[in-house]
Chains A and B, each alone.
Chain A
Amino acid sequence: GQNIDQPTEMTATEGAIVQINCTYQTSGFNGLFWYQQHAGEAPTFLSYNVLDGLEEKGRFSSFLSRSKGYSYLLLKELQMKDSASYLCAVRDGLTGANNLFFGTGTRLTVIP
């Protein structure tokens, strides 16, 4: 089975940096994804990690440590529009070639 944990809510200030953590336990790890979801909308893809290390994409970076079952999403220069839920998802290679299992999501509120 899969067990994915991330904080329920976080608050940060506009212009600051915020780190959203995700820990996971899965029987057949085959990649970790981060998605952004605004209320009432579908998720949009942010980042993908399958090897250990940091992946940087503009204001967003994602880190993975497979040995620790740990990832984080780093958001820099926060903007008000970054207020959204951030979903950590793990692909389990044993249950299907591309099945994703999602954490409960972290609701980020950016304040002025």
Chain B
Amino acid sequence: GAVVSQHPSRVICKSGTSVKIECRSLDFQATTMFWYRQFPKQSLMLMATSNEGSKATYEQGVEKDKFLINHASLTLSTLTVTSAHPEDSSFYICSASVGGDQRPQHFGDGTRLSIL
């Protein structure tokens, strides 16, 4: 089945650091990838839709200058949290779809980001 790989799985860093998270589709081409954020005991919140070769579409309330998304190829999308602060600490999850209405989104294993 379709596999999505996300790296790193965990990041602990100081406030002010920028952190890059990679999301790769391993056995399929994903023209669209999605980035979600999940705070403890809450559900997934869609942050942005990443489109290969074009600008990402951000959900309302998500700062595009703080959460930089690059989807340079059909198998890789990156999310960079710039100048991270403690309130950015969360579980970040990417997903991708093989395409077509019948296909579910397949999720990466997530990245737990902790800003000290």
Q: Are A87 and B104 in contact (CB under 8 A)?
A: no
Q: How far is the CB of A110 from chain B (nearest CB, A)?
A: 19
Count of chain B residues with a beta carbon within 8 Å of a chain A beta carbon? 25
Contact of A98 among B6, B93, B105 (CB under 8 A): B105
Number of interface residues of A (CB under 8 A): 23
Q: Does B57 contact A (CB under 8 A)?
A: yes
Is the CB–CB distance between B101 and A102 below 8 Å?
no
How many A-B pairs with Cβ below 8 Å?
54
Whether the Cβ atoms of B42 and A104 lie closer than 8 Å is yes
Q: Which residues of A contact B91 (CB under 8 A)?
A: 40
9 cross-chain pairs, A with B, having the tightest CB-CB distances, nearest first: A42-B107, A45-B104, A102-B43, A102-B44, A104-B43, A42-B110, A105-B43, A98-B97, A42-B109
Given A43-B107, A98-B34, 6 more A-B residue pairs with CB atoms under 8 Å apart are A43-B93, A48-B104, A87-B44, A102-B45, A102-B46, A105-B42
Interface residues, chain B, CB within 8 Å of chain A?
Answer: 6, 32, 34, 42-46, 49, 57, 91, 93, 95, 97, 101-110, 112
